[in-house]
Amino acid sequence: MLKTNKKGNWFELTIPEIWDGISIEELFQKKWNSPKKLTHQFRMEQKVLVNGQKFPWNKPLETGYKLQVKLFEEEEINIPPHYMEISILYEDDHVLMLNKPPYLNTHPNDLLKDTNTLVNAASFYLQSKGEMRNIRQIHRLDKDTSGAVLFAKHPLAGAILDRMLESREIKRTYIAIVHGLFRQKKGTINEPIGRDRHHATRRRVSPTGQKAITHYQVIKEVPKQQLSFIKCWLDTGRTHQIRVHFSHLGHPLVGDILYGGKPLVKRQALHAAKLEFIHPFTEEKIICHAPFTDKPAIFKDIDLNHI
C-alpha cells in the first residue's frame, strides 16, 4: 500500500522504492494509463509538483520524493443534486461505492427532467460534504438490478477507472436466481449479443452482435421449485448480458418477464453482490460486498462473504 495524503486541493504521494527512477510522464502514461488529453492538461496547467516545486516530467523520481497532484479542485456542477438515503459501501478521497436499491435508475436519461437517480443522489451527497465536484459513474446497473455501483470523485480517477473497467481489472460478481436446474454446475457462456430488431429495448444472442462472455457457478438449488441460485462474473459488459445469456440457455432469470422469466418476485432476481479492484492511487486491494436490501427477501440463505 502506497503512502498518500490529501492537502487541500492537492493529492500527495510518497514515491515508494519500487517506483525509484520512474518519471512523472511514465507514472501518468504507464502506471495510471491516463488519457493523453488529460495528461497534457495536468502538464500544461502545472498541476503536478515534486517536493512542492516544478519538476521536469521526464526526469527520474527518487524514493521518498513527495509527488503532489492537484486533483480536488471545485468544478461547475452539471449533475443536479437530489436528496435520498444512500448506502455507502466504500469511500475515500478518490472513489465512492454505493449499494443501489432496486427500482432506481443508475443515471438520468434527461439531465434536467430526470433527477431521481443514483447519480443525482451521489451528487447531493458529495456537495453536502463540501466537495463541489461532479460525480463520475464508472458503470451502470439496470433499473431493477440492485447492488454495488462504483463512482469516481475527480476526472483522473474517472479516466483511470474507465480504463481499468475496459481491461477487466475491476471484477464484478453477481448473484441471480434462474429457472431450471443445471446439468453443468459451472461453465462459461460465450455468445455475441446484439439488438432485437423486433423490440426496442430487448437484446438477443446474434452472430452479428458484440462479443459477450459470462462465467457462472451454481451455488444453491431448490429442486421443488426448479430454481437455481448462481453467481456469475463477466469478461464484457453488454446491455442485459446476464439476462440474455441465461435466457438463451433456457434458464431465464426469475422475475425477468422481458426475457421469459416468471413473475415469482416483483423484479428480475439479479444483484451485483461483490466488486473488487486494486486502488489506482494507493495500490490497496478493495473488496466490497453489497448486502441484499429487498423486503421481503428474494435472495435467502446466501452468505455474501463466501461468494
Q: Which residues are catalytic?
A: 142
Rg of the chain taking only CA atoms, in angstroms: 22
Give the integer Cα–Cα distance in Å for 65 and 85. Answer: 42
DSSP for residue 122: H
Q: Cα separation of 122 and 157, whole Å?
A: 16
For the chain, what percentages of helix, strand and coil (3-state, to nearest 5) are there? 20, 30, 50
Closest CA to 80 of 105, 117, 54: 117
Other beta carbons less than 10 A from residue 156's beta carbon: 25
The conformation of residue 29, written as its DSSP 8-state character, comes to: I
| Residue 44 DSSP label | H
CA distances to 53, 115, 247 from 179, in Å? 62, 35, 9
Determine which helix (DSSP H) or strand (DSSP E) holds 42, and give its type and residue range: helix 36-44
Within 13 Å of residue 55, how many CA atoms lie on the same side as its CB?
Answer: 21
Residue 92: strand, helix, or coil: coil
Phi, psi dihedral angles at 290 (to 5 degrees): -100, 115
Q: By the 8 A CB rule, do 146 and 293 touch? A: yes
Q: Are 272 and 107 in contact (CB under 8 A)?
A: no
The three-state secondary structure class of 190 is: strand
